[in-house]
């Protein structure tokens, strides 16, 4: 009872020093933030460096919080160590400059052995040996190794072999060109060995580029057809008349052979279109209506051949005589014996023309110079103004101008000849 009545001893209060020690980490963090805030300079040049310090301080803060709960060390010691780490880190990052970083990167290279310095004298004394290329040799090497035989090219070579299915021709490539039997020429070839003997020089057209073995496909037939189309275009442009042999017929007309090309003559363009079957194996003179190599279209006309033959007798500067067969608002059409020419209103006189009928009327005889000739289109341009001595003379003395037309034409022909020569020179 006595013991129960005695007062119990009071529990000792923890010392205040220990409580103050527990608050130190908060003071460290407060000091760290303040130091970070105070370390920011006013100038903009160090803003990037301060941002880096703040980024680095943030993970350090997390490490401090983790270490504070570690039971292995007292809180006071942990807070002091973390504070030292933050201060060391911040001082080291502030003291580090870009030059120091570059120095650290180049530091391992300084330990490497130095290479020999460049000697310009040795470089200048160096000469080209047999293993070096100069510009000419380099270009020659490119030409030598350039692939031979692009599609559409014309090549020349010699026959080196004949097989049953084709001919081998050396055209200067890595491998010989092969020409199939059906490409050896126009028409049917029965004996290749007689036609293509070894060593025979031939000209071919490349139809397919080289394969993996370097061999190209060539053709004599394709080259012959290309030349035939080129010749047909030239003949059509000049308005020439050619002779062809009829080799077949159908309901619409007859077929013929022209330079290895298949031509067609419609019944409407034949002189005897009703009995066109009887023309097979006969030869006729024809002119060109249409020549289209891309579509392999060759249209001919027997009726037009007569007109083309008359065009062949005409030339620039020639004085002709004809009859006015038609009067149009833009000029006169003059009959020249089966073909007609146009005397345009601008070519009648050098004076002021009020009405066309003031000079000529239908049925009048006209003498004029040929100044334009287009056989392909069937056009003939006439001119009477060049026969005048003074501008408008034909309006006043038409009979005198026509009577002296031959003498006056000689002077005009010299002028036209000079103009034609100047045009040819410009074209060349």
Segment 170-210, tens digit of pLDDT: 888 777 889 998 888 887 777 888 888 888 999 988 888 77
Same domain, yes or no: 213 and 243: no
What is the rounded CA–CA span in Å between residue 395 and residue 353? 8
Residue identified by tokens 């056989």 is 375
Whether 365 has a pLDDT exceeding 70, the answer reads yes
The pLDDT of residue 322 is above 80 = yes
pLDDT of residue 129: 52
User: Residue 145 pLDDT > 70, yes or no?
Assistant: no
Q: Is residue 11 part of a domain?
A: no
258 and 202 in a common domain: no
Tell me whether strands 297-301 and 283-292 are parallel, antiparallel or unpaired.
antiparallel
Residue 68 and residue 78 in contact, taking contact as beta carbons nearer than 8 Å: yes
- Name the burial class of residue 106, with classes exposed (0-12), middle (13-18) and buried (19+) by CB atoms within 10 angstroms of its CB: exposed
Give residue 31's pLDDT band: very low, low, confident or very high (50, 70, 90): very low
**pLDDT tens-digit readout, 270-298:** 988 888 888 899 999 999 999 999 889 99
User: Could you tell me if 260 and 286 lie in one domain?
Assistant: yes
Structure tokens at 385: 């103004």
State how far the alpha carbon of 237 is from the alpha carbons of 277, 358, 373, in Å. 30, 37, 11
pLDDT digits 0-9 by tens, 257-266: 998 899 999 9
Q: What is the pLDDT of residue 421?
A: 74
Provide the pLDDT for residue 185.
83
Same domain, 280 and 378: no
pTM for this predicted structure:
0.51
Other beta carbons within 10 Å of 428: 5
Whether 204 contacts 218, CB under 8 Å: yes
- Same-domain check for residues 341 and 403: yes
Mean pLDDT of 133-160: 71
Higher per-residue confidence, 380 vs 55: 380
pLDDT tens column, 194-250: 888 888 999 988 888 777 777 888 899 999 999 999 999 999 888 888 999 999 999
Give the C-alpha distances (Å, rounded to integers) separating 2 from 5, 6, 7, 254, 287.
5, 6, 10, 155, 156
Number of domains the chain contains: 3
Same-domain check for residues 291 and 346: no
Pick from 278, 307, 336: which residue ends a domain?
Answer: 307
- As a whole number of angstroms, the distance between CA 320 and CA 47 comes to 100
CATH classification of the domain holding 350: 2.40.50.140
Per-residue pLDDT, 44: 46
Structure confidence at residue 87 (pLDDT): 47
pLDDT for 259 equals: 86
Contact criterion met (CB below 8 Å) for 319 and 382: no
Shared domain for 418 and 318, answered yes or no, is yes
Q: Enter the tokens of residue 334.
A: 């003059």
The CA radius of gyration of the chain, in Å to the nearest whole number, is 52
CA 150 to each of CA 42, 154, 207, 224: distance values in angstroms, whole numbers, following the listed order: 74, 9, 8, 18
Q: Are residues 260 and 319 in the same domain?
A: no
The pLDDT mean for the chain works out to 74
Asked if residue 393 is part of any domain, the answer here is yes
Range of the domain at 207: 155-224
> Taking 90 as the threshold, does the pLDDT of residue 418 lie above it?
no
Backbone angles phi, psi at 131, to 5 degrees: -95, -5
* Positive or negative: CA dihedral 64, 69, 75, 81: negative
Residue 109 included in any domain: no
- Does a structural domain hold residue 253? yes
> Which DSSP helix (H) or strand (E) runs through 163?
strand 154-163
For the segment 365-383, the average pLDDT, to the nearest whole number, is 88
Distance linking the first and last C-alpha atoms of the chain: 147
pLDDT at 305 over 90: no
Residues 9-27, mean pLDDT to the nearest whole number:
49
Q: How confident is the model at residue 410 (pLDDT cuts 50, 70, 90)?
A: confident
Confidence bin at 91 (pLDDT 50/70/90): very low
Residue range 326-339: mean pLDDT, rounded: 90
Average pLDDT, stretch 121-144? 58
CA atoms of 103 and 380, how far apart (whole Å): 92
3-class DSSP assignment, residue 92: helix
**323 and 414 in a common domain:** yes
Say yes or no to pLDDT of 130 above 50.
Answer: yes
Crossing angle of helices 47-68 and 16-38, rounded to 10° = 160
Residue 304 · residue 269 · CB < 8 Å: yes
- 244 forms beta bridges with 284
Are 296 and 340 in the same domain?
no
Which segment of 24-28, 34-38, 246-250 scores lowest on mean pLDDT? 34-38
Query: Is 64 within the bounds of a domain?
Result: no
Asked whether residue 367 is domain-assigned, the answer is yes
3-class SS at 214? coil
pLDDT of residue 352 exceeding 50:
yes
Which pLDDT score is estimated for 80? 52
- Each residue's pLDDT tens digit, 100-120: 555 555 444 444 444 444 454
Q: Do 320 and 419 fall within a single domain? A: yes
Shared domain check, 292 and 261: yes
How long a stretch of residues is the chain? Answer: 428
Q: Which of 196, 224, 252 is the last residue of a domain?
A: 224
Q: Kindly report the number of other CB atoms within 10 A of residue 245's CB atom.
A: 13
Tell me which residue of 214, 137, 211, 222 sits closest to 172, measured CA to CA. Answer: 214
Q: Are 56 and 89 in contact (CB under 8 A)?
A: yes
Q: Per the domain annotation, does 270 fall within a domain?
A: yes
User: Of all residues in the chain, what percent carry a pLDDT higher than 90?
Assistant: 24
Between CA 79 and CA 357 the distance in angstroms is: 125
pLDDT at position 285: 92
> Could you tell me if 371 and 381 are in contact, meaning their C-beta atoms sit under 8 angstroms apart?
yes
Query: For residue 121, is it within any domain?
Result: no
Which of 168, 194, 224 is a domain's end point? 224
């Amino acid at each position: 009872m006595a013991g129960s009545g005695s007062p119990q001893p009071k529990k000792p209060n923890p010392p205040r020093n220990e409580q103050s020690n527990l608050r130190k980490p908060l003071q460290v963090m407060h000091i760290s933030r303040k130091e970070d805030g105070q370390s920011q300079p006013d100038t903009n040049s160090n803003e990037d460096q301060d941002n880096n310090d703040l980024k680095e301080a943030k993970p350090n803060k997390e490490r401090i919080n983790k270490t504070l709960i570690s039971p292995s060390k007292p809180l006071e010691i942990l807070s002091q160590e973390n504070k030292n780490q933050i201060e060391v880190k911040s001082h080291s990052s502030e003291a580090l400059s870009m030059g120091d970083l570059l120095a650290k990167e180049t530091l391992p290279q300084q330990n490497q052995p130095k290479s020999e310095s460049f000697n310009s004298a040795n470089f200048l004394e160096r000469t080209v040996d047999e293993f070096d290329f100069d510009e000419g040799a380099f270009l020659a090497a490119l030409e030598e190794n350039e692939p031979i035989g692009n599609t559409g090219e014309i090549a020349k070579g010699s026959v080196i072999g004949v097989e049953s299915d084709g001919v081998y021709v050396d055209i200067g490539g890595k491998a010989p060109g092969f020409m199939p039997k059906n490409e050896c020429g126009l028409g049917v070839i029965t004996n290749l060995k007689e036609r293509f003997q070894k060593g025979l020089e031939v000209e071919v057209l490349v139809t397919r580029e080289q394969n993996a073995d370097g061999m190209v496909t060539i053709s004599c037939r394709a080259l012959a057809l290309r030349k035939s189309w080129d010749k047909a275009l030239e003949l059509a442009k000049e308005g020439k008349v050619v002779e062809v042999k009829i080799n077949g017929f159908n309901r619409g007309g007859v077929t013929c052979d022209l330079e290895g090309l298949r031509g067609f003559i419609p019944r409407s363009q034949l002189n005897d279109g009703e009995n066109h079957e009887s023309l097979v194996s006969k030869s006729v003179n024809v002119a060109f209506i249409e020549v289209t190599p891309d579509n392999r279209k060759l249209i001919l006309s027997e009726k037009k051949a007569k007109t083309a033959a008359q065009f062949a007798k005409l030339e620039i500067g020639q004085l002709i005589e004809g009859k006015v067969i038609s009067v149009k608002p833009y000029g006169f059409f003059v009959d020249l014996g089966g073909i007609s020419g146009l005397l345009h209103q601008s070519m009648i006189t050098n004076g002021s023309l009020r009405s066309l009928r003031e000079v000529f009327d239908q049925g009048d005889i006209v003498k004029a110079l040929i100044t334009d000739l287009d056989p392909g289109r069937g056009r003939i341009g006439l001119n009477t103004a060049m026969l005048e001595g003074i501008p408008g003379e034909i309006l006043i003395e038409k009979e005198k101008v026509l009577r002296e037309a031959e003498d006056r034409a000689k002077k005009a022909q010299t002028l036209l000849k000079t103009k034609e020569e100047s045009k040819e020179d410009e074209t060349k």
